[in-house]
Structure 1
Amino acid sequence: MSPGRPEEHDVTTRLSRPGLRGREAELEQLRALVAAVRDGEGGAIALLLGEPGIGKTVLLREAVSLARAHGFVISHGRAEELHELAPLASLASGLLHGDPPLLSGTDFADLAGHHDQRIWLVERLAQLIEERSAGRPVLIAVDDVQWADPLSRFALSVLPARLLSSPVLWLLTSRENPEPYGQGPPATTLPLRPLSETALAELARDVLGGDVPARVEELLDGAGGNPFLAAEILSGIAATGADGPEPPERLVLGVRGRLADLRPDTLHFLRIGSVLGRAFSLADAAALCGRPASGLSAEVDEAIAAALLHDDGERLLFRHDLLRQAVYADLAPSVRRALHREAARRLVAAGRSSGDAVPHLLKSAEPGDTEAIALLGTAAEDVIAVMPDLAADLAVRALELVPPRAPMAYDVGERAIVALTRAGRYTQARDTGDALLARRPPLDVFARLQCVLGDTLWHLDDVQELTRRTTTALAAVTDPAIRARLTARHALVRSRGSDLGAARETGERALAEAERAGDREARVLALWGLGEIALNAGDCAAAVAHHTALSVFDSAFLPEEAIALIHLDDFDAVRRLLRTAGDLPLRPAMLIWTQGTLNMGLGRLDDADADFVTAERLEADLHVPGNLVNLRVNRGLLAMLRGDREAAREHLDVVRAAVADRPNTGNHATHRYFEAVVADAEGDHAAAAEFVRTVQRDHPFLRWRLLRPHVVQAVRIALRGGDRELAEDLAAQAAAHAIRNPTVPTAQGTAAHASALVNADHGLLERAVDILLDGPRPLSLAAASADLGRALLTSGDAAATPALTRAHDLYAKAGADAEADRVRAELERATSRPGRRTGRLRPRTDRGWAALTTSERKVARLIAAGHTNRSAAEALVVSPHTVNTHLASIFRKLSVRSRVHLARIVLAEDDAGPAVDD
């Protein structure tokens, strides 16, 4: 803070107030963070860590007061031990109750209405917080994060990075260090140590006044430096003197002593409260006591007078969780269990949600408790979309409660398999299913279990086992809907095989069965399978037709429709689809992969790289890195186009590790092609050609959709490796693909280009260029133009110069620096003078304005002009997630932490004049 500010006048007094003794250094750090965020230095995170009673909450409240005095919008929430099933409850407890609240009830209702997509929900929440923080800094404080519900924990792990450039201070308390915060602002961790003897002595003087007797100092030693225990001891001494039991037993015994003085009804009421949690509603306690709430006023008054509870106007709270634990610990284990079971029963009877009752069931249910099994199953279904791991835990617990031979085990087990698969716990899901199958269920149950296990095995990439099981189940099934699902799954599996004609027949039969059975899941699977089969076969128009029908039926498959359209060269339709998807709670990682694939095709390499980085980050957030190999292969190929071999090798290392972890033929193909490109660039042409040959070990090169745009490069690699037969095979595949797709310019132009290279045919190169001029892919056109220019240059034809110039300009505009430099050198030879430098041909640096890509500069200027991430994304027609990725890179390269600092740099750069590439 600047000297002389009015809020600075009483810092010394504040730091030495009772309750903050010994925490002067920590409070000073928090004060500095508050000032830094207020003064526009970007977001920040502070973590207050320590055991119960160590003073975390007191320090947090003081920081909240400091921030409020500095004009912050405050969200002060608390996680509750028994609220783990209420999505976003820990954050919502503060977001909705500030003065003014950070979010309105309408805002939160909008979030709650779309809570079935975690990433969408957090993005929307980030947008709302970003908008609020545009006018005033924001403090989001959450106490007891160790008890936060899974969705709040997820949001807290993602939001700081998403709001990196906004003036948001995150202040969290926890008994242990929570999970890391990714690419967010650096966290200031404040582990609260036991108070020093000096601080304890000062605390004693605050409470007792005057000098502290030696006996009191001895008793305070027993508190272990814990300020809450010390305060309780001092309160007891102030009331009864220094004689009595030693801590820490003193706290439990002290509470027990207070309880002994209470009326029996009050004691029962407090014990009920301790079972319900630190904070509980009077209505819930009354229901569990079996009395009307209006009849408990005497008990409430007596508990408050005994300094055990206080009333915040909405709920009753134990004055400290250690007090609740002391009351709870005084209950016999069997009594606790019975009270939790009764609490669950009463809450259900009172019409409360399964989420309120299930935490009590987890502490009390015993095998054979059918009511608990049903409630756990309902709770799992309620939270599976937004908290899949928790849903899986609940579903597994329900299965554990089912007696081994009970028929209901199969239904409960089926739900557990689905939940475990949704949570990405595929091996556990398969093992659970196999344990149920080992009980030899009836044939229809057998088929149903194999049906749900199909999704599990698909994610495990165990296609052979999936084929075997599906075939076996089809022989046993009688239920038409299950038969349709199994047939559809069989078609999807066969999409990865060699006989795509037979696969198509299976898919068409599955779709007919699904329509007859009226089964939605079977229809989705059948359309998905038919779309995949068509795309793998290279029938792009049919793939679009199937995927369009699928996305109309289920909008979650819109990315698949967009990918199919990209293969059809209909980039305008893809843009329209992506704009449509912008406000839908779809699969964001897949959507951004689609956007990156489009940008790759458009030759917008910087944007494509940012998209792939973003998609990988989103997959990592969700712990489902299913597309990691393809993402890193594309990023590696981009790095090679730029001439950054070091980055390409780093990507290749990640790909090798990922393929070793999840080997499948698709990953094998893309990985081996990437190996070929790197080996070829390093001069090992024989090894590169061998890598391309291994791509075709299971299927032809063009069977792999990701590799289709690279068939010309594969032909070059084969020719440089001396394998003309391989080159001819690749060119023949390209020709066959062109015949299947007569209206797709890229397919036609690529086929002509590949054949021209194999046959050294200048005329075919000219034809390839003419076709690709009408297509949407500038890099394909650049490659054909460069090869044409080289061929003409060899023959001494003056037409070489315009062909090479076109190739150079296209590469330079795309940011393919290495290719642009190579063509420029050939231009210099063609003209016998230094080549003209168009576009951005400069060495890449790691830091400073010059290090920013063209896209990053656009983002920087928009953010500096006051745009939010969302409005910048709308202006650039990209995802807010991608804007955030750009911002993180901009901040790193410019060594800034806030939008204020960024705006100063942008202003200075613009005053200095526009850069060549802007």
Structure 2
Amino acid sequence: MRTSGERLVGRDAELALTAGEVDRLGEGRAATLTIEGEAGVGKTRLAQSMVHRARSRGMTVFCGRAHPFERTRPFGVVADALDLSVRSSDSRGAAIGALLSRHDADASGSVGDIQYRVVEEIVDLVETACAERPVLLVAEDIHWADTASLLTVLSIVRQLPLAPLLAVVTTRPSPLPGDVVRLLDDLADEGGRTLRLQPLAPDQVAALAAHELGAPPGPGLAAMLDKAGGNPLWVNALLRSLADEGVLRDASGVVDVTSPELPGSLSELVARRLRDLSGPTLDLLQVTAVLGDAVSVRDVAAVARRTPADVAGQLTEAFDARLLDEVDERVVFRHQLVHDAIYQRVPAPARRLLHREAAVALMAAGADRLAVADHLVLGAERGDEQVVGWLRDAAREASGQAPAVTLELLRRAEALLPGGHRDADLVSAEVVQALLRAGHVAEASARAEAVLTRRHATEVDSPLRVALVGALALQNRADEVTAVVEASLAAPDRLRPADQALVLSQQSWALTYTGDPRAGESAAARALAIAEQVSDTAMSVWALTALLVAEGRQGRFDEALSHARRAATLAAGSPDTRSLPLQPKFFLGLALFDCDLVGEARTAFRAALDDESGSAWWLSDTLMADAQASFAIGEWDDAVPGLIAGGQAAQEKGNPLLTTQSLAYRTVIATARGDLRSARKLADGFTASLEGEQLSYNAGVLTFAAAGLTAAEGDLQGAFDLLLRCWRFDQARESRFYHRCLAPDLVRLALALGHRDVAVEVADSVAAGVALAPEVATVAGLALRCRGLVDGEVEALVEAAALTRRTPLLVEHAGACEDAASLLARDGRRDEAATLLNEALDRYEQAGADAWAGRVRAGLRSVGAHPGARGPRRRPAAGWESLTDTERAVALLVADGLTNGAVARRMYISPHTVNTHLRHVFAKLGVSNRVELATVVHHSIE
């Protein structure tokens, strides 16, 4: 009987498809392919054919595989594929490996920081490889992959859509873990293809048999092979078994069987082979199966307490029986189904014992707990206190790398403890913390409450109360937060002063976010007093940050900025990292922006991005804030890519507020440019949040966008209703933060629709806000603008235009000019009206707001001016001159060989934003890869 060699019989169509993907990769085209099929159907062989084809064409290949019993090993698949270890010959791989070997939990409690840093480093490493030659990245058997590896694969695909990269993942069909299902859905959403390998048809099975045997199968053999269900592995295994047992015969040009006996399953077939093995070899083979489907001889030797040479010699029989193979210095079962068959033959109690012994032996040999944690989980029985301790240690090691792994390990540790165990409450408290870190805040609060409401260990009371307040605050359950905080503070010995300040700060956030900023301010002030009394700098930063947010919601922007500056100064001068999760520089940027100091705000945002000691959880917020600053000053060509990228990052981090804000600002831009169809599609992503009984924390900007679009579609009453509802909602909660968004359009629409009382109410309210922020030009300008519209006072409107002219803000400045011009024209002061309209027109045209510019040009014509000759200031649609300044900067840096990550760091934007800019650059320049881009760039700048 001969072997099939490199030929994959019965898969001609699939081979053509995968070969085409590799060939397109050679042309510099990015793609993603999922190969799905049952075990033994040929996924690995098909992936290997792609690997061979890519290598034969000089491409870089990264290939990794997930293995059973390794879901608790963070970044396991990608670490294997990219050789990420401290012993790596590649300096960058070694540096990332050093990060992965760090098991010290972050003292600041900033969740997932190491995980996201590692992901970004890996993306940059892959992109660097893509800059040298096309890259094929293969991740096999992702149904066993750890969560960090799944996140990394998705990040690589999302952040490198324009790189010469072909990402291939293989998986079995459902049932699959939820995180794997999400990855496959996300890859499909990114444009990835799925190839589902079906069982071979009868004629293909016959062709496979003919290829293996050198002659077609006879009727008896064909009937046997039909029972393999079209699974190529099972067909080959049957043929080899029948050949080994001597029951095949040549007859009249076909090969048939001399006996109708047939193993009922692959497991039975494997069992028949095992009968021929000696006892010591069988024992060693079972140990190997318990360790996994691909293991080192040294690991087998450590567990079996034999020398590596003895192990290698004893397993010779298993190699001869074609049960094992050797790949990359590992003992590998010929197929996963062979491994499963041998593993399942070991009685369950023996398997459990072997898993435990394996974990102990491997740790004694130097393996860390994370590498063997799956064996601990599979090998322990209830009451095994030693394993509980090991699992808790492993969970601590994983806390900075993979929060989901930490949670899984602690859940298992908790399940192993007998009822009433002395450590039960300690482990429960650790589970609550892990739930918070993994983002399961509702379950975290429920678990914390369950422990606190019964008798519990004294030492867990304080950490559980702090965790409960944090979890409730994240869910905006302000009333419950207040109840827990007040109950905790009523017993002074329950919480240390630092914890008192922390829970009060958390209470402040919850109150402010649920619409009671005055109460939020009170809680933050109490927190600050306690922190200052004990000279706790970190908790002072927490309290000041909560305080400035509460003050800003009330419209006291000057005071908020003062506290933001103090918080940033304290954090910068203190080595105490407990304040870092808040990223004070980011909040300073927000406060500066609220005071019209946009340039200083962007400097603060860039400082936050530069601050590697800060929390990665604020990265998407910082990038989004900077994109919103670009929108505010009219740099919309830069704002749109930033908003898109910020929205993508927010989705990855599970932040719905930022996601809807991205959509809202893009809706405003599309509306202003006259693309109402796109605007409506974008708005559909957030308008449902404006229909419930409660409005979200960011409802002001969402309402501004939705109302502007509704008015542009001709429904003035609908726009008015949206604005009025949000206005009244904020008024009831004494929130002035979104006055500058809501008030001008609401006053204008109220007057147009005959609701003068509403216009007066709004004008009076914004006038009162000036005393709260007297130094902020747009606040004073807003009051003058609304009062001028209500009372018809043209000079108030002219002064409002003059005030907003001092700021770089587009909507406020141009809108004030339009309002003033309308009253100037009414009074016959046409030249003055034309001057202000031209001022607004300049701003709109620079931003590309064609629809708004068209409205202004109509106003100019009505006062006798003639703007038409100038026309909109458009760039060419294609070519170097069509690029924006930012697109040119990105193109130049990429042409110089910088990766997306390096460009992002140089320009203080995100890799997502770089990708969006590159898409535009590629389209405008008519190129499809970076090599072509570099050629065009160099010709253009000569």
* TM-score by shorter chain over 0.5: yes
CA gap 1:71/1:184 in 2 versus in 1, 3 angstroms = farther
Matches within 5 A, 1:455-534: 455-476=470-491, 478=493, 479-480=495-496, 481-496=498-513, 503-514=520-531, 522-523=539-540, 525-534=542-551
Report the counterpart of residue 609 of structure 1 in structure 2.
640
Q: Which amino acid aligns with 1:432?
A: R
Report the counterpart of residue 94 of structure 1 in structure 2.
81
Report the counterpart of residue 195 of structure 1 in structure 2.
200
CA gap 1:246/1:752 in 2 versus in 1, 3 angstroms = farther
Give the CA deviation at 1:323. 1.6
Q: Which amino acid aligns with 2:591?
A: A
Percentage of pairs with the same residue: 30
Residue aligned with 1:20, SS: coil
CA distance in 2, matches of 1:853, 1:710: 34
CA distance in 1, matches of 2:776, 2:188: 41
Report the counterpart of residue 348 of structure 2 in structure 1.
333
CA distance in 1, matches of 2:539, 2:803: 41
CA gap 1:233/1:520 in 2 versus in 1, 3 angstroms = farther
Q: Which amino acid aligns with 2:781?
A: G
1:499-539 alpha-carbon deviations (Å, 9 max, x no partner):
75664453233234346668787555423312212222333
CA distance in 1, matches of 2:459, 2:79: 45
Q: Is the 8 A contact 1:43 1:898 kept in 2?
A: no
Give the CA deviation at 1:689. 4.0
Q: Is the 8 A contact 2:589 2:603 kept in 1?
A: no
Report the counterpart of residue 669 of structure 2 in structure 1.
638
CA distance in 1, matches of 2:384, 2:492: 31
Number of equivalent positions? 891
Matches within 5 A, 1:75-474: 75-96=62-83, 104-106=92-94, 108-109=96-97, 112=100, 116-176=113-173, 179-182=184-187, 186-210=191-215, 212-242=217-247, 249=264, 251-441=266-456, 445-446=460-461, 448-474=463-489
Q: Is the 8 A contact 2:162 2:915 kept in 1?
A: no
CA gap 1:722/1:211 in 2 versus in 1, 3 angstroms = closer
CA distance in 2, matches of 1:183, 1:523: 46
Of 14, 37, 54, the residue aligned with 1:67 is 54
1:414-459 alpha-carbon deviations (Å, 9 max, x no partner):
2222222333323322332333244343677555433212222222
CA gap 1:172/1:747 in 2 versus in 1, 3 angstroms = same
Matches within 5 A, 1:501-650: 503-514=520-531, 522-523=539-540, 525-548=542-565, 549=567, 552=572, 553-554=579-580, 556-557=582-583, 558-582=585-609, 584=612, 586=616, 587-650=618-681
Of 819, 822, 835, the residue aligned with 1:787 is 819
1:796-835 alpha-carbon deviations (Å, 9 max, x no partner):
2222222111110111111222211111111122235453
Of 763, 768, 793, the residue aligned with 1:731 is 763
CA distance in 2, matches of 1:784, 1:413: 58
1:482-504 alpha-carbon deviations (Å, 9 max, x no partner):
33333332333343578756644
Report the counterpart of residue 916 of structure 2 in structure 1.
885
CA distance in 2, matches of 1:526, 1:213: 83
CA gap 1:369/1:532 in 2 versus in 1, 3 angstroms = farther
Give the CA deviation at 1:670. 4.8
Unmatched runs of 5 consecutive residues or more in structure 2: 103-111, 175-180, 248-257, 573-578
1:40-78 alpha-carbon deviations (Å, 9 max, x no partner):
3x1112222211111211221121111111110111111
Matched, 1:807 2:875: no
Report the counterpart of residue 106 of structure 2 in structure 1.
none
Q: Is the 8 A contact 2:429 2:464 kept in 1?
A: yes
CA distance in 2, matches of 1:55, 1:305: 23
Of 1, 4, 21, the residue aligned with 1:33 is 21
Give the CA deviation at 1:270. 1.3
Of 811, 826, 837, the residue aligned with 2:870 is 837
Report the counterpart of residue 252 of structure 2 in structure 1.
none
CA distance in 2, matches of 1:872, 1:784: 38
CA distance in 2, matches of 1:594, 1:238: 69
Q: Which amino acid aligns with 1:324?
A: H
Residue aligned with 1:186, SS: coil
1:234-268 alpha-carbon deviations (Å, 9 max, x no partner):
22223221267855546333433433333333222
Matched, 1:769 2:801: yes
CA gap 1:210/1:713 in 2 versus in 1, 3 angstroms = closer
Q: Which amino acid aligns with 1:311?
A: E
Give the CA deviation at 1:233. 1.9
Give the RMSD, CA atoms, in angstroms. Answer: 3.7
Q: Is the 8 A contact 1:492 1:526 kept in 2?
A: no
Residue aligned with 1:316, SS: strand
Q: Which amino acid aligns with 2:607?
A: T
Give the CA deviation at 1:148. 1.6
CA gap 1:472/1:240 in 2 versus in 1, 3 angstroms = same
CA distance in 1, matches of 2:911, 2:191: 22
CA distance in 1, matches of 2:535, 2:329: 49
Deviates more, 1:79-88 or 1:116-125: 116-125
CA gap 1:63/1:671 in 2 versus in 1, 3 angstroms = closer
CA distance in 2, matches of 1:422, 1:852: 46
Give the CA deviation at 1:399. 3.0
CA gap 1:767/1:211 in 2 versus in 1, 3 angstroms = closer
Q: Is the 8 A contact 1:792 1:800 kept in 2?
A: yes
Matched, 1:816 2:821: no
CA distance in 1, matches of 2:743, 2:448: 42
CA gap 1:384/1:708 in 2 versus in 1, 3 angstroms = farther
Residue aligned with 1:654, SS: coil
Residue aligned with 2:193, SS: strand
Residue aligned with 1:796, SS: coil
CA gap 1:675/1:212 in 2 versus in 1, 3 angstroms = closer
1:579-616 alpha-carbon deviations (Å, 9 max, x no partner):
33445472332122211221122112333233222222
Give the CA deviation at 1:182. 4.7
Give the CA deviation at 1:367. 3.0
CA distance in 1, matches of 2:748, 2:938: 47
Residue aligned with 1:310, SS: strand
Q: Is the 8 A contact 1:673 1:695 kept in 2?
A: no
Q: Which amino acid aligns with 1:656?
A: T
Q: Which amino acid aligns with 1:116?
A: D
Unmatched runs of 5 consecutive residues or more in structure 1: 1-14, 912-918
1:203-253 alpha-carbon deviations (Å, 9 max, x no partner):
334443345444433332232222222222222223221267855546333
Residue aligned with 2:170, SS: strand
Q: Which amino acid aligns with 2:778?
A: T
Q: Is the 8 A contact 1:265 1:299 kept in 2?
A: yes
CA distance in 1, matches of 2:855, 2:37: 60
CA gap 1:264/1:111 in 2 versus in 1, 3 angstroms = same
CA gap 1:801/1:652 in 2 versus in 1, 3 angstroms = same
Matched, 1:57 2:44: yes
Deviates more, 1:582-591 or 1:151-160: 582-591
Residue aligned with 2:9, SS: coil
Residue aligned with 2:301, SS: helix
Q: Which amino acid aligns with 2:546?
A: G
